[in-house]
A and B are shown apart, each in its own frame.
Chain A
């Protein structure tokens, strides 16, 4: 590898860049997924009740909802409670809120969604069904944004694997070209080795290993860079984002995935070496 240093360095750099992109996608998908998971636990449905629904009707409705599959922790918020909550939330405005009357606020039933009912489709179906209840003016649920973010997560996850497949082709091609260049540079040496009776293994294996090593070093470089950036992000940016999204628990790629990335890098590089040698010698 020494004779062809710059080309090897460029090749390793290209592989590292490709793996960095792939790793970034995976890392983003993983943390986004766990972020969505933690928010799914907090998903609730609010049923705003029509004016004039009596306390008795509310109690009966609560009873019925308790039997409904997927609903937990039902809490009744009367018009008065709603006004109090509003005033508490906007306490800083003082006297401006004094004239507000409880008639302006709808009574509501707030409920959590059970852990088996937290997919966006299930939440939407449940809310749609509850919306048809005669006492209910409107059913609201915080799942719409969750639904949209789930689509983003889906794209991220699949995007990672599509990118991964493209990446393998890039690595095979990049290493094959670099190994081909080495083959060209060492053409005379190889010819001599063949003529003096060196076995095919002795002549070809160094080139296979060269490809494998390039892939491995490229993958290692990308993971080191990714970890470094992840570490900086966790320290500097994560606390800032926590202000808006609550406590963020970021995690780096699991060790199995790190090992898989290194393995894929090495195998793709090895494949590049094999492709190049086979092409050059037609064997």
Chain B
């Protein structure tokens, strides 16, 4: 479950990123967060993993009061929430396998378990195992985004946040990625997708939270 109660966030220079945001997302829901650039979509997602701290209000994610977490309590929260970035954030000097393994290694998994999990997650995102040995620069944009999703999923999070996951992809790949996220949601993962593309919302007929200049308008 995700709950926002009257959340405010202002950036230096008195820029209101978010104001009076309240909403709830149930477990297993698929929700689009839409709005034009600068509406506050990314800030909203970042608040859920405490990459940003709200100025006011309360945020509950899986029962944790995110706004009041101590620094030592942030890593356990983030292990339950996968995050997919618009720019993929893949390490160009590591192979696809190493990019995904990085997460599990940091969380203390054994190599045998890492190998097994990576093969499983690659099947989920429908990537051929042959890409494992490639570096990200040698695969297509669509494949890179699938790797980024695989990395976010490999630790089996209960919530998946995707920030403009199709922002750099052509329409065909966009549909493929949203279909993939929809399939992941069908396995029970709560999915929130931030996108400025309103046509996606119309096409997939999912619940949408619409932001405009930091305020929730629908």
Contact = CB atoms under 8 A, between A and B. Distances in A.
Given A192-B91, A197-B77, A283 B102 contact: no
A195 B51 contact: yes
Contact of A192 (B71, B72, B80, B102): B102
B166 interface: no
Contacts of B151: 196
Contacts of B152: 196
Contacts of B75: 194, 197-200
A191 B51 CA distance: 10
A68 interface: no
B63 interface: no
B72 A196 contact: no
Name the interface size band of chain A. 10 to 19
A283 B78 contact: no
Interface on chain B toward A: helix, strand, loop, or mixed SS?
helix
Given A195-B49, A196-B79, A197-B78, A202 B106 contact: yes
B155 to A, nearest CB: 7
Interface in A101-142: none
A169 interface: no
A191 B72 CA distance: 16
B192 to A, nearest CB: 15
B89 interface: yes
A152 interface: no
Interface string A178-199: 0000000000110111111111
Nearest to A196: B103
Interface string A40-56: 00000000000000000
B139 interface: no
10 contacts: A3-B93, A193-B102, A193-B106, A194-B78, A197-B74, A197-B75, A197-B78, A198-B103, A200-B71, A202-B106
Interface of B: 49, 51, 71-72, 74-80, 82-83, 89, 91, 93, 102-103, 106-108, 151-152, 155
Interface of A: 3, 188-189, 191-200, 202-203, 283
